[in-house]
Structures are given as C-alpha cells and as structure tokens.
Amino acid sequence: MSFRAAVVVGLFAVGALVIAQEPKKEPEKKEAKRYKSGDMSRPRPRVIDPGTATPADHPGKPPSDAVVLFDGTGLKEEWTHGGKDIEIKWKVENGYAEVKGGNLQTRRKFGDSQVHIEWATPKEVKGNGQGRGNSGVYLGGFSEVQVLDSFQNDTYPDGQAAALYGRFPPLVNASRKPGEWQVYDIIAQLPKVEDGKVTRPGRITVLHNGVLVHHAVEFPGRFGEFNILLQDHGNPVRYRNIWARKLGEYDDGTPPPEPKKK
Ligand code: MG
C-alpha cells in the first residue's frame, strides 16, 4: 500500500469511528413552519392525477396516489379472512366481489385516510329491516359504517345505511334503489396522542353517494391504525372500486422552485 493510500484508508477508519461513537439523536419534533400569506417559498402541493368520479353505470378511476385495494380483478393480494392466509371465499366476477363465507379485511393498516368504497345490495329484495342487504365497513376504533338496503326499508335510524352503527343515524337517507351501485367516501382521522394523552379525539366524516351524512364526528378513546374490514352479515352484498389514500399534511408537498440566479 502506498503512503497516500494508507492515509486515505486511515481517514476512512477515523471517520467510521466518529460516526459509530456519535450518540443517537432523539427524533426531532416536527414543528409546522409558518408561512406568510402569499409566500412563494412555500412547498407546492403534490401533483396527482385526480382520477374520475364514479358515474352510475361503471366504476370511476382512483386518484394516482391511492392504494388500490380492489380493482375488480382479485382479492388475495390485499385481503384476507381474519388475517389468515386461507383461500378467499368471496365470489369475484364481472368486476365486483360478493360477500360469502366470512368478513374480509385488508392486509395493510391505515392511519389518517380517505377511503372510497362502492357497494350494491341485491336487486332482488329479500327480508326486512336489518335482514335486507346488510354488510358494513369497519375502520378500527370507529363505529361500523352500516351497509344496508335502506330504500323504503325502515329500521332503527342508527342502524340504517350510512349510520355510524349504534351511535348516529346519517344526516339524510341518500340511499339508491336495491341493485344500484352506491358510494361511500370516508375520511378518518386517528386520535391525536401527545405525551400519552389524547389531545384530539378521532374524527370521521362520511359522504354517501356524494352527500355529506356525517361531519367530523368525534370518537372517544385511544386507538391506532386499522385494517379496513368488510362485514359478512349473510347477505350477498357486492363491492367494487375500493381504494384508500393518506390524508397528508399541509406543506408536505414538493419544495418550491430554486430562485433564479441573477
Ligand atoms: Mg352491518
């Protein structure tokens, strides 16, 4: 080894020692940077393809930053029965999945999210009240967002379609007819926990067929990330076009452009 090479190797060794001995830094608390109104140094919101909304006769296209959980072709990559790697019993055909043989839950967990779910109760009406097209969407510590045929089908209000089951009826009954595709857009925010205390309860907002039915309803308790679960209540309810996306924070976008050099 030449003298020069030995010096280089030596410097690397000293460098590695310094890095190895550096004490572990506590993760810094992220303070939101304050920007003045009209500040051009502010990060630009991330650019996404918004996809398309869902028309009545076919599924829409998810936004480009969504995790697609069911695109009509298969379930086993994203879903399980009870977290177990067993064969999925739900029937997948013609771009939809039909309830059969147990609840389905996502393999992934989600935090603060926007969840989009399309569903249809059977066209052929059978049963009454809670027995007609019953299924549901569970997001961890929040109440079940009830799926039910609530088109001219009376039941207890906090158990009808789009109810936060057992707690709040929807603000309006925006149900479509049996067999028609319906849409839930759910915005879920986990409880905010600081120094072991809940400083802001979990919140949930729900739109049913584009209509606001719950707005920032607060849920007490401390709960964390959730698997999305679709209920098997013994009725052949269908699902399609399921996706979720992270809510994100203000100013988490792309850095502002470099100032022009003079
Ligand atoms: Mg249900």
pTM score, whole prediction? 0.86
Contact 43, 33 (CB under 8 A): no
Lowest mean pLDDT among 28-37, 82-91, 131-140, 249-258: 28-37
Q: How far apart are CA 215 and CA 231, in angstroms?
A: 23
pLDDT averaged over the chain?
Answer: 90
Cβ burial of 161 (10 Å; 0-12, 13-18, 19+) is buried
In angstroms, what is the span from residue 148 Cα to ligand 1's centroid? 7
Domain residue ranges of the chain, discontinuous segments joined by +: 72-109+117-182+219-240
pLDDT above 90 covers a percentage of the chain that reads 80
In angstroms, what is the span from residue 169 Cα to ligand 1's centroid? 13
Which amino acid type is present at position 210? G
In angstroms, what is the span from residue 159 Cα to ligand 1's centroid? 8
Predicted pLDDT of residue 6? 53
Pairing of strands 96-98, 91-93: antiparallel
- Mind listing the pLDDT tens digit for each residue in 129-159? 999 999 999 999 999 999 999 999 999 999 9
Q: How far apart are CA 143 and CA 166, in angstroms?
A: 8
The DSSP secondary-structure symbol of 28 reads P
Write out the residues surrounding ion ligand 1, Cβ under 5 A: 134, 136, 231, 233
- Average pLDDT over every residue of 207-236: 97
- Average pLDDT over every residue of 89-99: 97
- Average pLDDT over every residue of 55-65: 91
- Mind listing the pLDDT tens digit for each residue in 165-195? 999 999 999 999 999 999 999 999 999 999 9
In angstroms, what is the span from residue 145 Cα to ligand 1's centroid? 8
In angstroms, what is the span from residue 64 Cα to ligand 1's centroid? 30
CB atoms closer than 10 angstroms to residue 60: 15
What number of H helices and E strands is found in the chain? Answer: 1, 15
pLDDT, greater one: 253 or 225? 225
In angstroms, what is the span from residue 119 Cα to ligand 1's centroid? 13
- Mind listing the pLDDT tens digit for each residue in 159-170? 999 999 999 999
Predicted pLDDT of residue 30? 61
- Average pLDDT over every residue of 34-61: 92
In angstroms, what is the span from residue 153 Cα to ligand 1's centroid? 14
Q: How far is CA 192 from CA 201, 203, 250, in A?
A: 6, 10, 16
Specify the DSSP element, H or E, that contains 12: helix 3-21
Predicted pLDDT of residue 261? 79
In angstroms, what is the span from residue 93 Cα to ligand 1's centroid? 23
In sequence order, what are the residues at sequence separation of 6 or more whose Cβ sits closer than 8 angstroms to the Cβ of residue 28? none
Predicted pLDDT of residue 14? 47
In angstroms, what is the span from residue 88 Cα to ligand 1's centroid? 20
In angstroms, what is the span from residue 232 Cα to ligand 1's centroid? 8
Place of tokens 């969840």: 115
Please give the CATH number for the structural domain made up of 72-109+117-182+219-240: 2.60.120.560
CB atoms closer than 10 angstroms to residue 90: 22
In angstroms, what is the span from residue 156 Cα to ligand 1's centroid? 13
Q: How far apart are CA 209 and CA 195, in angstroms?
A: 39
In angstroms, what is the span from residue 160 Cα to ligand 1's centroid? 9
Predicted pLDDT of residue 5? 53
Predicted pLDDT of residue 4? 58
In angstroms, what is the span from residue 231 Cα to ligand 1's centroid? 6
In angstroms, what is the span from residue 258 Cα to ligand 1's centroid? 53
- Mind listing the pLDDT tens digit for each residue in 5-46? 554 455 555 444 444 455 555 555 566 788 999 999 999 999
